[in-house]
Amino acid sequence: MTIKRVLLCLVFLSSLHMMSQETGKVVGKVSLTGNVPAENISVVLKGTKYYTVTNEHGQYEIKNVKPATYTISIRVVGIQTVEDRITVTAKQTTTKNFALSESQEDLDEVVITKNKYKQDKPSLSLRLQTPVLEIPQNIQIVSGQTLKDQQIVSMSDGVIRNVSGAVRLEHWGDLYTNITMRGSQIQAFRNGFNVVSSFWGPLTEDMSFVDHIEFVKGPAGFMLSSGDPSGLYNVVTKKPTGITKGEVNVMAGSYDFYRASVDLDGKLDKKGKFLYRFNAAAQKKGSHRPFEHNDRYVIAPVISYQIDDKTKITAEYNFQYANMTEVGSYYVFGPEADGYATLPVGFTMTQPGLPDTNIQDHSGYLTFEHKFDDSWKLTAQTSYFKYIQQGYSSWPNAVGSDSNALGKGNIIRNVGIWDAESNMYLGQIFLNGKFNTGSVSHKILGGVDLASKDYMADWGQSHNLDTADKPFNVYNPNYGTPSNGFPAFDHTTPLSIRAANAGGLMTTNYAAGYIQDELGFFDNRLRVTLAGRYTWISNASWGGAPIADSHITPRVGVSYSITESLALYGLYDQAFIPQSGIIKSGDKVKPLTGSNTEIGIKKDWFDGSWSTTLSAYSILKQNELASDPTNKPGEQYSIVLGEKRARGAEFDLRGKIFDGFNVVANYAFTESVVLKLNGTIPGISVGDIVPGYAKHTANAWLNYTIQYGTFKGFGASLGGTYLAGRLTDTWSVGLEKLPNYFKLDGGLSYDTKKFKITANVYNILNEYLYSGSYYSYLSAYYWQTEQPINFRVGVTYKF
């Protein structure tokens, strides 16, 4: 029997080999007007599984095609399909070129007007050569046109409505984004670099220089440095396109909101080798709360030079300057007996006369790309980030009630210094390649990541604005000179000394190498991803000694295309990231480890006009830190949970349903619980729900633009967000739970080729919307309100 089995296997393998020898290949190039290469164009052998997309040179290649006569089809959403007949011969290469009558400008316009909300390929910074449909992972891309339609001006300004399961229960104003997804805070990336240097950063990105945003769910540390098992978001900045064009936008809205931005794109030489992109913005932004503002100024130049057909260099610089009211000005506190939202939506506890907090956020990038041939490409990039903050943070020292001497409605407000500086040096080099071994295709990704990060902050100086004899009363507020006067903090002593005294020093260094192979079987219908990563990390936090550790994290993924537009996938991978904190017992802080198991189904509908993704996952995390429930005022101790598990299901839909009608819709169910405890932790038990997310989230944004007739160009939008089972960000849940949340938005627009007018109204139902938590040591609830009904009107001119 054994000999027979061996012979059968040999016959089978021989048959596969013979089949691979008896196939042919189809190659060609797709060009636009002026012989301009057409990138990312779908090429299909109609009625078969044979499918590919053109590369940046407009070239395509379909391998292992069985000999026969086919109809080859060029598909571009919004442009008439081009077809022709070809005959494939065994062991021969069939060449078929296409010349489309459209220009690059026409193609760009089609992408914007016909399919505004769906992108099929991840950016270069995600390092993958595979269409989103075929990647064995849930990746959602928020397009630039989505941001424009919703009039989103920063990363913390409603972006998360476009992705299933993403919430921001504590908003940090417009300072930090801090997104929670799949039960944990996800990592912030920019152009493929992990830009987190502390729990609070980075400064939320202004949308003036953002092209699109990629949300990668589950671990992605194998390709993007260290990352949380819950996922990451990657902000992709605008790059030169080679098309000379420009755009100016002005916007105004409720509560003293004024904004202007410019986007210039073009060539610096006649041959089109030396390109530039320049973005800038200025914004004045008030608030529905008095004495509060957040102003922004941004410049972002980019240049690229195409040395030859194979080599390109890109240099980029982003500068953001924020001038805002002290951090925490948006919080309101109330006694335990009263619960949440007992004061007017526009009530404030902030003290006029306090100095503004100002922030400078610098980031520079240098990228080198070299194509050895059509199959192999090397990318090397380095970046430097510098963050400087000088200002205050406000938080009460005591909240009065009927049960304490201070008295109900009385509060002693406290402000603390928050001067900070961060420096990050990041480097990456990776190689993408493609080749075949017999009938098996391979897509190779390998690389090295290096990083050095430091963060120092002085939060060791504080001052009570009020006294017990003359507290601040929320029912009869006095915004004159506070009873205890204004603080006089020391800003002159070097920050490094002040930060060391305050325990505000954090450093992270890591080095990692990784390799991934995506194997394609049965003409790439079945794809198996095998990857591994070695990571070394040294981390020091809160002024403590550095702790070093290393880990190997594997990754296994499977994706199977049932049809060319329907794929099933399964994934198992792990993560390994440093953590910052001090444990009261003196135990060392260990890096967080975790694993993710995920299954899903992806479907492109009607020639890729719109797509759906349905996924289910289970994430286990070990050694995760959480705030110590026994902390007293001013203490920052952490505890080690032991092990927690997050489970859930997610559904995303995005794209063009029919001409003029574009939709983004999503739903997520999330549940995160404590599985094991590291010893006895007061107030926390096995089985407890982990704070910081919403159990049910649902979002939708619908946009319709009239395509023909007298009213061509007129459009309308309608969107909503619903959150249920909201959990606070602390273990002290209090007696009152956060209520369900529903927000309704909508707008009108008129678009010509040169001008577009967009007007949106937010919180149409004028609901009292807020997030918040309960703090047991204060015996108080705090909450942050969102704006009542408000509007934005913008005018865009393209040239």
Convert the pLDDT of each residue in 589-627 to its tens digit.
777 788 889 999 999 998 888 999 999 999 998 888 777
Give the pLDDT band (50/70/90) at residue 15. Answer: very low
Give the pLDDT band (50/70/90) at residue 34. Answer: low
SS3 350: coil
Pure H helices in 25-131: 104-114
Q: Which residues partner with 88 through β-bridges? A: 68
Enclosing H/E stretch for 6: helix 2-21
SS3 111: helix
pLDDT at 6 over 60: no
Interatomic CA distance for residues 542 and 586, integer angstroms: 12
The full set of domain ranges for the chain reads 24-100, 245-798
For residues 685 and 134, the answer to whether their CB atoms sit within 8 Å is no
C-alpha dihedral sign at 217, 222, 225, 228: positive
Enclosing H/E stretch for 18: helix 2-21
Phi-psi region of 242 (alpha: psi -120 to 50; beta: other; left: phi over 0): left
C-alpha angle 369-374-375 in degrees, rounded to nearest 5: 90
Q: 404 or 149: whose pLDDT is higher?
A: 149
Select, from the ranges 95-104, 432-441, 584-593, the one with the highest average predicted confidence (pLDDT).
432-441
SS3 502: helix
Prior bond of 202 cis (ω within 30°): yes
How far CA 708 is from CA of 242, 660, 711, 713, in Å, comes to 31, 10, 7, 8
Convert the pLDDT of each residue in 384-439 to its tens digit.
999 999 999 999 999 998 888 898 999 999 999 999 999 999 999 999 999 999 99
Interatomic CA distance for residues 779 and 95, integer angstroms: 75
Interatomic CA distance for residues 197 and 452, integer angstroms: 10
pLDDT at 318 over 70: yes
Convert the pLDDT of each residue in 322-346 to its tens digit.
999 998 899 999 988 888 999 999 9
Contacts of 316 (CB under 8 A, 6+ apart): 191, 237, 239, 300, 301, 302, 303, 364, 365, 366, 367
Contacts of 437 (CB under 8 A, 6+ apart): none
**């899903």: which residue's tokens?**
600
Q: Provide mean pLDDT across the span 304-318.
A: 94
Chain centre distance of CA 674: 26
3-state secondary structure 433-484: EEEEECCEEEEEEEEEEEEEEEEEEECCCEEECCCCCCCEECCCCCCCCCCC
Give the pLDDT band (50/70/90) at residue 453. Answer: very high
Provide the token pair at 220.
């992605």
Is CATH 2.40.170.20 correct for 245-798? yes
Convert the pLDDT of each residue in 259-300 to its tens digit.
999 999 999 998 888 999 999 999 999 999 999 999 999 999
| pLDDT score for 621 | 87
The superfamily (CATH) of domain 24-100 is Carboxypeptidase-like, regulatory domain (2.60.40.1120)
Give the CA-trace dihedral at 433, 434, 436, 442, to 10 degrees: 80
**């959480």: which residue's tokens?**
626
As a whole-number percent, the residues of the chain with pLDDT over 70 amount to 92
Select, from the ranges 53-62, 68-77, 253-262, 776-785, the one with the highest average predicted confidence (pLDDT).
253-262
Interatomic CA distance for residues 114 and 763, integer angstroms: 28
How far CA 34 is from CA of 30, 38, 59, 101, 106, in Å, comes to 12, 11, 16, 9, 13
Interatomic CA distance for residues 359 and 388, integer angstroms: 6
